[in-house]
Amino acid sequence: MAKNQEKTLRVGLAGLGTVGAGTFKILQANADLITRRTGVRIVVTAVNARNKGKDRGIDLSSVEWVDNPIDLASHPDVDVVVEAMGGENDPALSLVKTALQNGKSVVTANKALLAHHGVDLSRLSEKHNAPLMFEAAVAGGIPIIKMIREGLAANNISGLYGIMNGTCNYILTTMERTGESFSDVLEEAQKLGYAEADPTLDVGGGDSGHKLVLLGALAFGCQPDYQNLSVEGIDRLSAEDILIAGEFGSRIKLIGQTVKLEDGRILQMVSPCLVPRTSPLAHVDGVLNGILSQGDFVGLSFVEGRGAGEGPTASAIVSDLMDLANGVNGPVFGIPADQLQSSPSASRDDWTGEFYMRLVVQDRPGVIAEIAPILRDHQISIESLIQRGRSADQPVTIVIITHQTTGKNIRLACQEIADLPSVLDDPLTLPILKI
């Protein structure tokens, strides 16, 4: 970070959407507070966005407009580049790389960029002594990056479990409250602005996955490994699933979890899960995020808050700018890039615990007798079983809660069960958390 003689930190802001404009607003509205807490004036000196004439509700008259965002990386009046454009590749990637190569600090909210290019960017950061900060990339207004990298730094972390996508959490909360279908609630969420026009990255689990691999890198000192992540979304869930989960004392949440197994492998998995009502994660509702961590000395720690939107995300960006103003400069993922391990990865097959299994079958005698031997052959025992629906010529729902088994056993059993003539749809299986 460079400071001029007037103790001013000059910011080049790339992107003036919700997050970029929010960052500009906070730096203006809370300028005196920020200066008191850092001893440094943090000012935006240059900006870039796709549409220069758009009214964003901010006064840019005193700020230089730059037509090409990459030019911010070499701008003489810019000390730190804030990348608020998004996207895992160019122009965001070239902007961040060029800024680091030029020795300029970078603050980003771009989880996809770091999930796919984090190792290379952390090496550039260290080589050129240019900090790369990303508090805003995970869970918006929750300071989870600082919590893991600083507050829990003395602990061996065994696991992280998080609700990290407000869109999915809003949908699941609303389905539970109203009994409406996934598709109906998704449409409502899009109208309210909680879901994108193309919601695939959110409801498919990819957004949570990007955030999860960054937390895993910080927690376990491993390279961000999005390619070996197990990801399932919420689009197959029904209101009936949510109702039945409640009868078992649980709620369904989209959980991203990264866990260090006893053999040293790192399990990283995003999946809807049954979460017992005794867990703090079960009470994270609406668009909120919540993350539970387990350290060897601190035990369980839980944080909850707004994970997205203008205010929370911009607040996290400005927090990183304030750290830079205070001289903070450390490895991107907590340890030097060359020490990040390429840890052997584990998949959903390696997850061990109880499972919820939902089957849609023909309503005729003998169906359970066909399913039971398959479960037995794959070492799956039944803790409880319920059947829903009974009317002429209509399918029925069978829900099975298993005893402890592995994801591999469940997968192989479901492949065979799906081939039975009496089974009308692919089985739905959900892990049951016990934390």
pLDDT tens track for 199-245: 999 999 999 999 999 999 999 999 998 888 999 999 999 999 999 99
Residue 400 CB-half CA count within 13 A: 21
Same domain, residue pair 402 and 368 = yes
Does residue 321 lie within any of the structural domains?
no
pTM of the shown model: 0.93
Same domain, 176 and 240: yes
Q: With 50 as the cut, is the pLDDT of residue 292 above it?
A: yes
DSSP string of 175-204, one letter each residue:
HHHH---HHHHHHHHHHHTSS-SS-HHHHT
The confidence score (pLDDT) of residue 4 equals: 41
Kindly tell me if the per-residue pLDDT of 3 is higher than 60. Answer: no
At 385, give phi and psi (nearest 5°).
Answer: -145, 135
Mean pLDDT, rounded, for 332-338: 95
If asked whether residues 122 and 237 sit together in one domain, one would say no
Residue 295 is which amino acid?
G
CB-neighbour burial class of residue 270 (10 A; exposed 0-12, middle 13-18, buried 19+): buried
List the CATH number of the domain containing 258: 3.30.360.10
- For residues 33 and 133, state if they share a domain: yes
CATH number at residue 74: 3.40.50.720
Are 249 and 220 within one domain? yes
Mean pLDDT within 292-305: 96
Name the percent of the chain in helix, strand, coil, to the closest 5: 40, 25, 35
**Is the peptide bond between 224 and the residue preceding it cis, with omega within 30 degrees of 0?**
no
148/135 Cα distance (integer angstroms): 11
CA 50 to chain centre: 27
Nearest by Cα to 138 from 151, 125, 153, 149:
149
The pLDDT > 70 percentage for the chain reads: 98
The reply to whether 395 falls in a domain is yes
Q: What is the pLDDT, as a whole number, of residue 44?
A: 98
Residues 36 and 70 in one domain: yes
Does 346 fall in a domain?
A: no
Please name the amino acid found at residue 358. Answer: R
CA distances from 260 to 65, 109, 216, 369, 379 (A): 47, 26, 9, 38, 24
- 148 shares a domain with 133: no
pLDDT-wise least confident of 77-86, 192-201, 419-428: 192-201
* Residue 106 in this model has a pLDDT that exceeds 90: yes
The answer to whether residue 193 sits within a structural domain is yes
Greatest Cα pair distance, the chain, in angstroms, is: 84
- The pair of structure tokens assigned to 18 is 């919700």
- The C-alpha atoms of residue 399 and residue 382 are separated, in whole angstroms, by 10
pLDDT recorded at residue 389: 73
Count of Cβ atoms closer than 10 Å to residue 158 Cβ: 15
Total structural domains within the chain: 3
Structure tokens at 373: 């031997």
For residue 343, what is the DSSP state?
Answer: P
Which residues constitute the domain of residue 425? 351-432
Of 303, 411, 298, nearest in space to 348 by CA? 411
Same domain (yes/no): 158, 91: no
pLDDT at 5 over 70: no
Residue 96: which residues within 8 A CB-CB, separation 6 or more?
81, 83, 106, 108, 110, 113, 121, 132
For the stretch 285-317, what's the b/e string if a residue is b when 16 or more beta carbons lie within 10 angstroms of its beta carbon? bebbbbbbbbbeeeeebebbbbbbbbbbbbbbb
**Residue located via tokens 């990255």:** 201
**pLDDT score recorded for residue 255:** 98
pLDDT at 1: 45
Residue 206: phi and psi, rounded to 5, are: -65, -40
Q: Tell me what the mean pLDDT of segment 1-19 comes to.
A: 80
The kind and range of the H/E element at 258 are strand 250-260
Does 390 have pLDDT greater than 80? no
Average pLDDT over residues 273-287: 97
Average pLDDT score over residue span 286-307: 95
> SS3 for 434?
coil
Tell me which H or E stretch contains 106.
Answer: strand 105-108
Rg (CA), the chain: 24
Is there a domain that residue 212 lies in? yes
Task: Assess whether 125 and 176 both reside in one domain.
Answer: no
CA distance 131 to 125: 6
What is the pLDDT at residue 80?
98
107-129 residue pLDDT tens: 999 999 999 999 999 999 999 99
Could you tell me if residue 318 is inside a domain? no
What local confidence, expressed as pLDDT, does residue 2 receive? 46
Q: What is the pLDDT of residue 388?
A: 82
Label each residue of 368-389 as H, E or C.
HHHHHHHHHHCCCCEEEEEEEC
- On whether both 23 and 128 belong to a single domain, the answer is yes
Specify the CATH number for the domain of residue 382: 3.30.70.260
Residue 187 counted as domain residue:
yes
Q: According to the model, what pLDDT value does residue 391 have?
A: 63
Catalytic annotation, pick one of 104, 211, 253, 260: 211
Residue 433 has pLDDT above 80, yes or no: yes
Shared-domain flag, residues 116 and 68? yes
Give just the sign of the alpha carbon dihedral 211, 212, 214, 219: positive
Asked if 211 is an active-site residue, the reply is: yes
Residue 175 has pLDDT above 80, yes or no: yes
φ and ψ at residue 380, rounded to 5 degrees: -115, 120
Mean pLDDT of the chain: 94
Strand pairing category for 157-163 and 288-295:
antiparallel
Q: Of the candidates 195, 228, 236, which has an alpha carbon nearest to the alpha carbon of residue 209?
A: 228
* Integer Cα distance of 286 and 148 in angstroms: 25
Q: Are residues 159 and 294 in the same domain?
A: yes
Residue at 410 is within a domain: yes
Name the pLDDT band for 351 (thresholds 50, 70, 90): very high
